[in-house]
Structure 1
Amino acid sequence: MAAQAKRIIEDAVMRKDAGLGDKLLDKAFALAFRGLVYAQIWEDPVVDMEGLDIHPEARVMCIASGSCNALSYLTANPASVTAVDLNKAHVALGRLKIAAIRHLPNYERFHRFFAHADHKENSAVYKTMIAPHLDADSRAYWEKRDIRGRRRISYFTRGIYRQGLLGNFIGLAHVFAKLYKIDLSNVLEAQTLEEQRDVFERELAPVFDKAFIRWLTDQPASLFGLGIPPAQFEHLAGDQRMAEVLRRRLEKLACDFAVKDNYFAWQAFGRGYSRAEGAPLPPYLQRANWDAMKDRVDRLDVTRANMADWIGAREEASLDRFVLLDAQDWMNNAQLDDLWHRITRASRPGARVLFRTAAEPSLLPGRLDAEILGQWRYLDETSADLTRRDRSSIYGGVHVYELA
């Protein structure tokens, strides 16, 4: 499986017609993507669930990533959710969360483990309450030592959200901010949207005019920490400087949503969730949903698999909802045709597919085989509304298609 996963990741990101320099960049990204990338998924599950319109008979397939959204979809009461991922770290994280929901004694313990994620006691909690119920592969992952010689489960005693490719990227952004005498956490102290915008315009926006930052963000490798491969970097930038693109995305994150309601802003500007009473959290971590999570967690399966292969192995007309994240941004036209052929075959009447793109428009028109695309209806008003309200603010577009 390890060799197969490595090959599939490389196939997804390696540009066959690229020059040697670009191929080396692609190879470097593929290597970086094999470890823990996202301790928290960076797609808004609230708008996902609205776009998906999950019903009690729905069978949902999604890419796992940090499994936050796969778990959160259970609050919409689907029949089942299957989260697939090639990344063994993401699979181990999802299965860790499932075991914790099943076997931790109460919400408070679960909240301290996954929301605070930095208590020393979490090591003992893992050893006595979670580890005995983990599958062998996941347990081996968490108990193996990282390159610093620390057991990976110790991430939960030092702050899991500061770990992984994205966590390190955000940490580095805070370091650069301090070099320019900027405290990113000032955004979180604002009491109104007007105050948030004032902080952004006064402190954050000018950084993107700095010559070094403009040069740095023009380097594709600089965004590896966001999980953006070199090919997707080009789609994201378009004909603009990357610094300007990032400034607009950060502006949306900092200014368009009240920080008291946006846990993505807390992750970006505070490197963790707020600890205030009633703080914003992903649905699966909210106290009000604890009983539902306990009751429904057996409906979720996290499995290590190639997305297209897994869909292709399903029975005809057996699935209702698909969440592809931004995986299609990595694909060529032949891969898109193959994926959507499998999705169409596996879809029941009324099925929906939701995905995100680095650029604003849907990437399917003009690329996906017209015969396949003609079987799907693009929900343009819904997609535009979800894009506007997606609190994560990283992506250019959120898109929903429904089987016509």
Structure 2
Amino acid sequence: MVMIETPSVGARIDGAVVRNTALSSTGLLERIFSAAFHGLVYPQIWEDPIVDMQALDIKPTDTLVTIASGSCNVMSYLTANPARVIAVDLSPAHVALGKLKLAAAQHLPGHAAFSNMFRYANLKTNIALYDRHIRPHLDAETRTYWDGRDLSGRRRISKFARGFYSTGLLGRFISIAHLLGKMYGVDPRELLRMDSVEKQREFFETNIAPVFDSRSFKALTSIRASLFGLGIPPAQYEALAGDAEDGMIGALRTRTERLACGFPLKDNYFAWQAFGRRYQSGETVSLPPYLEARNFNAVRDNASRVNIVNESITAMLAARPAKSVDAYVLLDAQDWMTDQQLSELWAEITRTATPGARVIYRTAAAPSPLPGRVPAGILDKWDYRTEESLELGKQDRSAIYGGFHLHIRRGSTQ
């Protein structure tokens, strides 16, 4: 059975992405990107949850609002014991993935089964785990999604028996990047053999960096659609390209260098996924917090506190009472927004924020997109933490963003 989207789903995604007329080249690209977002884009999330939780300072009484994406961070926030998590996403596939993870945490037999499903995500036994323990506890829409067939004719849930992290736009993009590397005589997996940051850097400089200087690679990345697999719409492409003196090539080289040699490999599961297409083997290795054995009971116990909805974050906040949210995670969504959309979002954030509430987000370029675009009367109610933002950005192991940003709501009299 194929899940049929309601027109409102497509309209909401178009509203987030489309800025130009269909007859323009940019407008056409925006519509192609919007169509791609109706399916799975991010099989996993590329924001560091350790940095997030440090910035958010989550308390047991907190209500946290976040964009779901692949829901890795939604699940990891549960280890900090918030009172409630409200996750939103415009992609029905992302909502279905988040609900699958929540049901799995609550109903799989234990951590080993949960790890098989979401750490390895390539075992045939995962289908039996789904059918026996997860499927009966899914709502009808989510069950229809995972029981439905993909373009190959196989059940979508079968991706967890074939390598889930190689699926979705991002997963396929990384696969293509590996293929391109091999065309240039580079196997990215070899980086994972390096046993020090110094050797990682030497490997990058000798093997990976020259690829960025090749004429064919420059030609490929000059096409805005070539980076749709990274979840980068046309508007964000321009921001990313403008963040380096030598344009998109410079921005991609800088971020790949940081991912490859900015942190020891033993501490960076993002590098293992990018260069090895998997999480590291072994017991005491770097994993997302929600996949660590020591955190499984907390994730299981707190999973019922999460509500995931297919909606825009602005619309969801508009329906909430004033002063009812303590923390907000916007990922990089603001890079996509028009001035009006930014202002509407921050008006709702400001209305719903408790005194001392925290907002975090990331950007393709280093600067915050808010000054000059969101009314000063709104921004004046927030303290922007410049030094903390810079320091937290340096700690982000995913290494793919130009900026990390933290705002804290001033007192209730502001």
- What TM-score do the two structures reach when normalised by structure 2? 0.96
Equivalent residue in structure 2 for 1:80, among 58, 61, 84: 84
Q: Could you tell me how far apart the structure 2 residues matched to 1:385 and 1:205 are?
A: 26
Tell which deviates more after alignment, 31-40 or 163-172. 31-40
Equivalent residue in structure 2 for 1:332, among 330, 338, 342: 338
Aligned pairs (5 A) from 1:342-381: 342-381=348-387
Instruction: State how many pairs are aligned.
Output: 404
Q: Could you tell me how far apart the structure 2 residues matched to 1:172 and 1:72 are?
A: 29
Q: Could you tell me how far apart the structure 2 residues matched to 1:322 and 1:152 are?
A: 31
Q: Could you tell me how far apart the structure 1 residues matched to 2:97 and 2:20 are?
A: 32
Q: Could you tell me how far apart the structure 2 residues matched to 1:395 and 1:2 are?
A: 33
Do 2:22 and 2:28's aligned partners in 1 also have CA atoms closer than 8 Å?
A: no
Do 2:106 and 2:301's aligned partners in 1 also have CA atoms closer than 8 Å?
A: no
TM-superposed CA distance for 1:17, in Å, is 6.6
Do 1:71 and 1:284's aligned partners in 2 also have CA atoms closer than 8 Å?
A: yes
Equivalent residue in structure 2 for 1:24, among 10, 23, 28: 28
Are 1:130 and 2:130 matched, yes or no?
no
Matched AA of 2:363: T
TM-superposed CA distance for 1:276, in Å, is 2.3
Matched AA of 2:312: N
Q: Could you tell me how far apart the structure 1 residues matched to 2:198 and 2:6 are?
A: 49
Do 1:214 and 1:241's aligned partners in 2 also have CA atoms closer than 8 Å?
A: no
Unaligned runs of 5+ in 1: none
Q: What is the match of residue 116 of structure 1?
A: 120
SS of 2:320's equivalent in the other structure is coil
Deviations 1:334-369 (A, max 9, x none): 111111001110011101110111000111111111
Q: Could you tell me how far apart the structure 1 residues matched to 2:169 and 2:281 are?
A: 24
Are 1:192 and 2:196 matched, yes or no?
yes
Do 2:72 and 2:290's aligned partners in 1 also have CA atoms closer than 8 Å?
A: yes
TM-superposed CA distance for 1:242, in Å, is 0.9
Are 1:312 and 2:326 matched, yes or no?
no
Are 1:226 and 2:230 matched, yes or no?
yes
Are 1:54 and 2:58 matched, yes or no?
yes
Do 1:218 and 1:241's aligned partners in 2 also have CA atoms closer than 8 Å?
A: no
- What TM-score do the two structures reach when normalised by structure 1? 0.98
Deviations 1:172-199 (A, max 9, x none): 0000001011010111111010011011
Q: Could you tell me how far apart the structure 1 residues matched to 2:395 and 2:30 are?
A: 32
Identical aligned pairs, as a percentage? 52
Unaligned runs of 5+ in 2: none
Matched AA of 1:127: D
SS of 2:328's equivalent in the other structure is strand
Q: Could you tell me how far apart the structure 1 residues matched to 2:280 and 2:393 are?
A: 25
Deviations 1:16-35 (A, max 9, x none): 37861111111111111111
Q: Could you tell me how far apart the structure 1 residues matched to 2:224 and 2:375 are?
A: 30
Q: What is the match of residue 385 of structure 1?
A: 391
Q: Could you tell me how far apart the structure 2 residues matched to 1:275 and 1:49 are?
A: 25
TM-superposed CA distance for 1:241, in Å, is 2.5
Matched AA of 2:12: I
After the TM superposition, which parts of structure 1 deviate over 6 Å for at least 4 consecutive aligned residues? none
Q: What is the match of residue 219 of structure 2?
A: 215
Q: What is the match of residue 329 of structure 2?
A: 323
Q: Could you tell me how far apart the structure 1 residues matched to 2:37 and 2:22 are?
A: 20
Are 1:237 and 2:257 matched, yes or no?
no
Q: What is the match of residue 408 of structure 2?
A: 402
Q: What is the match of residue 43 of structure 2?
A: 39
Q: Could you tell me how far apart the structure 2 residues matched to 1:91 and 1:58 are?
A: 22
Matched AA of 2:273: Q
Aligned CA RMSD, in angstroms, stands at: 1.1
Do 2:13 and 2:91's aligned partners in 1 also have CA atoms closer than 8 Å?
A: no
Q: Could you tell me how far apart the structure 2 residues matched to 1:201 and 1:314 are?
A: 51
Do 1:103 and 1:130's aligned partners in 2 also have CA atoms closer than 8 Å?
A: yes
